[in-house]
Amino acid sequence: MRCWCSSATPSRRSTPSAAATCSPTSARPGSPTPSRRSPPTSAATTRWSRRSTTCSTTLSWATPRSPSTPSRPRGPPTTTACAACPGRRSSCGRCCAPTSARRPTPSPASTPSAAGSPPTWPSRYAASSAPAPRSATRTPGRGGDLTAGHIAVLAHTRRDLEQVRTALREAGVPAVITGGQSVFSTDAGADWRALLEAMAQPHRSRLARAAGITAFFGLDGSDLDVGGDPLTDRLSEELRDLALTFAGRGIAAVFETLVSRGLSERVLGTVGGERHLTDLRHLSELLHDAATRERLGLSGLIAWFLDRQREATDATTERTRRIDSDAHAVQLVTIHGSKGLEYPVVLAPSLADRFVGRQAPAVLVYHDDDRERVLHVGDPDARPAALVARHHQEDAGESLRMLYVAMTRARSRLVVWWAAGNNVPHSALHRVLLGRVPGAAGVPDRLEPPSDEDTVRWLRRWADPDIGGPDLARAEPGEPPPLPTRPDPGPLAVRTFTRPVDLLWRRTSYSALTAVAEDPPAVGSEPEVVEKDDEPEIAVPAPEAAAVTPVPSPLAPFASGARFGSLVHAVLEHADPAADDWYAELLRHVTEQLVAWPVALDPEALADALVTVCDSPLGPLAGGRTLRQLPLADRLRELDFELPIGGGDTPVPDPRVLGDVAGLLRQHLPPGDPVLPYAAALADPALGDQVLRGFLTGSVDVVFRVRDGDDERYLICDYKTNWLGPADEPLTAAAYTPDRLAAAMGHSSYPLQALLYAVVLHRFLRWRVPGYDPERHLGGVVYLYLRGMCGPETPVVDGVPCGVFSWRPPAALVVELSDLLDGARVGGAS
C-alpha cells in the first residue's frame, strides 16, 4: 500500500462483477422481467452442492406497515423444503432440520435506523437460534439431534454478535463469540476493573456498589436498593480486606479468597458461566504475572490493566481460552472470521443491513490504475469527486465478496433475513437479489427498495422451485420455543481418585538439577523469555599458572550480570559473520536486542568489543578458526531439546539417580581430566540422589559444524560472560588461562551441563547424520569465556587460547551416559 494525498483524477472503474450470483430471470429464461427498481430481497440464496452435500436455504422477509394496519395472525412455524427429496414441501426429518422464521415484522417505530439495526432485533431473532425439542429436529445430514453447537450466527461486526449473545443467553441458549477475542475486553475484564478500582478506594460508595454487582459478589440493582447503606458499608469492609490480602499475598490470593466465598458456584449457575469463570481466572493469572514481574502495587496494577484494555484488539496475544463447553454453544462469528470454515446450520440475520454515511470518509482506500492499493489522506474538501466515487465502488464490491463468504458457510441449512429500512439500499444482499436485470452481470452500488407488493412479487420469483430457489417465509414475531429438558443425571457424588500418581516423574532442566540446594520461590511465573541463569559469579582461587601477556579484556568496561549475558548471547546468535560490514552488523543487532535486554551501555562500544571477541581463535577443537570464520550455514543456533530420561512418558520401573553418573566419570576419564573432580561433587545426597525420570529440557547455545576436507565433526559451544578476575584490578586475558578456566569449571556445575549437552548432541546426530559414528562426529565441547577472548593477540597456553575451555569427552562415555539416562545399568554406574 502507498499513501497518496494528491488530487489526481482516476480513470473510470467498472462496477464490481457479481458472477458468483444469479438472478431468477437469468436462471429461468422466459420468466417475467422485474422492473429496474425491483424490491429489496430477503435472506435468500440458491441451493449449492458442496462436497456432495445439498444445502437448503430459507428466505425470510419483513416489510414495514403503518401502525393502523392490523397485525397479521401468526401461523405455525414455516419449515424449509427438503432439498434432497424432490417434490416435498416440508422437511423429511432425516437429512435436514426445520427452521422457523421468527424475526418480527418491524413497525415504523422499529425500522432500522441509519446507524444500524434496531436494538430489539437480537432478542426477537434469538428464537430462531434456540434449538427446538429433540423430537422435532435432527442434525442436518448426520442423523443426530440438532443442538446449539450445530448452529452458527454470522454478522459483520463483533458489536452485533455481542447483542446476539446477550439475547441468546437471556433465552437460556448458550452462545460464544469465536475468533480470538481479547480477554481484556470481555465481561470478565469489566468485572476485574470494577473490583480493582473499588479495592483501591473502598471508602467510595459508588465504586463499592459497582463492585457489588460484578460476579465477584453476585448482587444486582435490587439487592443494592434493598440493602441500602448497611450493604454498601459491608461491601466496603470486604473490599478493604481484599486490599490487605493483595498487599500481603498478591492478586492470586485475592482471587482464591473470592473463590472460597462461593464465586465458582455462583458463576457456574448462570448461562455461559463456565466461559465467564474461565475468563476471570485467566485474567487473575495475567494480573498476578504483571504484579510479580513488574513489582506493581495496586495503583500500578490498575494502570497496567487499563492500558491492556485500551490496547485490546482481536490481534492480541492474550485471547480468551477455548473451553470444552464452547463446542456445545451457538457459534457467533464475524463474516470475515468465518472464511474457510463450515457449519451445519448458518443464520445470517443482518445481511440486509449495511450503513453507508452520506459524508465521505476522512481516509479513502482504493486501487489506482496500476492496481496498487492507495491510502488517500488528503484534505477531504479538496479531494476530487472521482476518488470518492472510486472508494465507494470498491467498498461496495467488497461487500459483495463478504456476502459470498457468508452465504457459502452452511453445510445443510442457511437462513437469511430481509427487512425494509434506511440501511437496506447499500446492502449487498438487497442489491444482488433485487438489483440485477436480465442479461446484466453488474450489481448496482445502491438500490432503493421498491413497494411492498413489488418486493413480495420479486421474492416469490426467487422462491420458484423450478429454478432451485430458496424457501420463502414471512418473518413474524414469536417467543422462543421451550428448551429441551435435560435428562435427570441421578444422584451426584464426589468421584473417588484411584489412579496412583508418580511423584518421581518431572520435567526438569540442568539449572533445576543443580539448584536443589536453593529454596525455590513459593509463588512465581513462567515468562516466555528469561535471562540467562547459568552464569553465576564464582570466586575461584587463582592456581599457579605460566606467565602470559596481560592483554586487556575488550569486555572489561561492561558490568557483569545476567541481563548483559543475555544481551551478548542474543547478538551473537543473530549476527551474520558473512556481512560485508561486520561492525555495522553487530551494531544493528546490539541496538535491536537492547530493546529486549535493556542495559545501560554504549551500543557502539559493545559492537566494537564484540568485533575483537569474534576475531579470537577458538583453539584446536575448532581447527584454530574464529567465530567470524564459522558461517551461519555451519551453525545450529539455540538447539532446543526435550530429552526423555528414565523412559520419558513410559517410565522404567527402576530408574537411575544423578549420582550414578559419577561411576561413569571415574571409569572413562583419565587422571588429570578437568571434569573428573565433578564425580566427587555428585556424592552430595542433595545433588546425587535426584531420580532421573521424566524429561530433561533446555537449549544449547550453538552447535558448530567443523569441516576438514571430506571429514566433519560437530562441536558444542556455550557462551559465558562470567567475570573471573579480581574486582579491584583491570580485567585481562591472564584471568582466563586454561588452568584457571578448569578451576572455574570445577567450582561450578558446568561439567554436568557439558555432559548433558554432549548426550543431546549424540542423540540428535544419531537421528540426523547418515553413517553416524560417535568417535568421528562428536567433536567435543568449548565454553567460550568471552571476557577472556582478546582478538588475534589472545595469549595461547599449551596450544589452547585464553578464554576457551576445550574438552573432548570419550565417545564411550557419552554413549553410556545416554543409556544411563534412559534407565539402563551401564559401565561403572552402581
Q: What is the pLDDT of residues 418-437, one digit of tens each?
A: 888 888 888 888 888 888 77
Residue the block writes with cell 526435550: 642
Longest dimension (CA), the chain: 110
- Residues 754 and 751: their CA atoms lie apart, in Å, by 5
Say which range, 99-113, 161-175, 463-477, has the weakest mean pLDDT: 99-113
Q: Who has greater pLDDT, 205 or 517? A: 205
Give the residue with greater pLDDT, 137 vs 753.
Answer: 753
Check pLDDT > 80 for residue 628.
Answer: yes
- Cα–Cα distance, 738 to 734 (Å, whole number): 10
The whole-angstrom separation of Cα 42 and Cα 352 is: 7
Q: Which residues pair with 637 in a beta bridge?
A: 702
Mean pLDDT of the chain: 78
In this structure, of 227-236, 460-469, 617-626, the range with the lowest mean pLDDT score is: 460-469
> Is residue 631 scored above 90 in pLDDT?
yes
pLDDT at 112 over 50: no
DSSP-derived letter for residue 116 is: B
Closest listed residue to residue 27, CA positions, set 408, 430, 438: 438
| Residue 784 and residue 719 in contact, taking contact as beta carbons nearer than 8 Å | yes
Q: Any idea which of 99-103, 151-155, 778-782, 808-812 has the lowest mean pLDDT?
A: 99-103
Using CA atoms, how far apart are residues 269 and 264, in angstroms rounded to an integer? 8
Is residue 387 within 8 Å of residue 9, measured between CB atoms? yes
The answer to whether the CB of 451 falls within 8 A of the CB of 92 is: no
Provide mean pLDDT across the span 75-80: 32
Q: Which percentage of the chain shows pLDDT scores above 90? A: 43
Which candidate, 726, 744, 750, places its Cα nearest to that of 803? 744
193 has pLDDT over 50 = yes
- The whole-number pLDDT of residue 177 equals 84
CB 194 within 8 A of CB 171: no
Residue position matching grid coordinates 545416554: 818
- The DSSP bridge partners found for residue 532 are none
Among the listed residues 680, 676, 572, the one whose alpha carbon sits nearest the alpha carbon of residue 626: 572
Burial of 782 (0-12, 13-18, 19+ CB in 10 A): buried
Q: What is the pLDDT of residue 745?
A: 86
At 60, the pLDDT band (50, 70, 90 cuts) reads: low
Tell me the sheet residues that pair with 472: 59
From CA 157, how far away is CA 335, in angstroms rounded? Answer: 8
Return the DSSP state at 647: T
Output the pTM of the full model.
Answer: 0.52
Nearest to 142 by CA among 407, 413, 449: 413
Q: Take residue 733 and report the three cell numbers written for it.
A: 586475558
- Measured distance CA(452)–CA(469) in Å, rounded: 20
HEC assignment per residue over 753-808: HHHHHHHHHHHHHHHHCCCCCHHHHEEEEEEEEHHHCCHHHCCEECCEECCEEEEC
CB 467, CB 75: distance < 8 Å = no
Residue 297: pLDDT over 70: yes
* Strand spans (E) along 540-634: none
Which of 27-41, 142-156, 526-540, 774-788 has the largest mean confidence? Answer: 774-788
Lowest mean pLDDT among 60-64, 195-199, 745-749: 60-64
Q: What is the pLDDT of residue 422?
A: 86
Looking at residue 737, what is its pLDDT?
A: 93
492 exposed, middle or buried (CB, 10 Å; 0-12, 13-18, 19+)?
Answer: exposed
pLDDT at 626 over 70: yes
The lowest-confidence range among 117-126, 172-181, 236-245, 699-708 is: 117-126
d(CA 669, CA 677): 10
Count Cβ neighbours within 10 Å for each residue of 21-47 and write b for 16 or more, e otherwise: bbbbbbbbeebeebeeebbbbbbbbbb
The whole-angstrom separation of Cα 259 and Cα 250 is 15
Q: Residue 643: which H helix or E strand, with range?
A: strand 635-645
Distance (Å) of CA 214 to CA 175, 308, 335, 465, 798 = 20, 20, 32, 53, 73
- How confident is the model over 158-189, as pLDDT tens digits? 888 888 988 888 888 888 888 667 888 888 99
d(CA 380, CA 364): 9
pLDDT reading at 353 higher than 60? yes
Q: ∠ CA 787-789-795 to the nearest 5 degrees?
A: 125
pLDDT (tens digit, 9 = 90+) per residue, 558-598? Answer: 988 889 999 999 999 999 999 999 999 999 999 999 999 99
What is d(CA 567, CA 555) in angstroms, rounded to the nearest whole number?
Answer: 13
Instruction: Specify whether the backbone of 617 is left (phi greater than 0), alpha (psi in -120 to 50) or beta.
Output: beta
Catalytic residues: 718
Q: How many residues does the chain have?
A: 830
The Cα–Cα gap between 184 and 282 comes to 10
CA distance linking residue 782 with residue 777, whole number of Å: 15
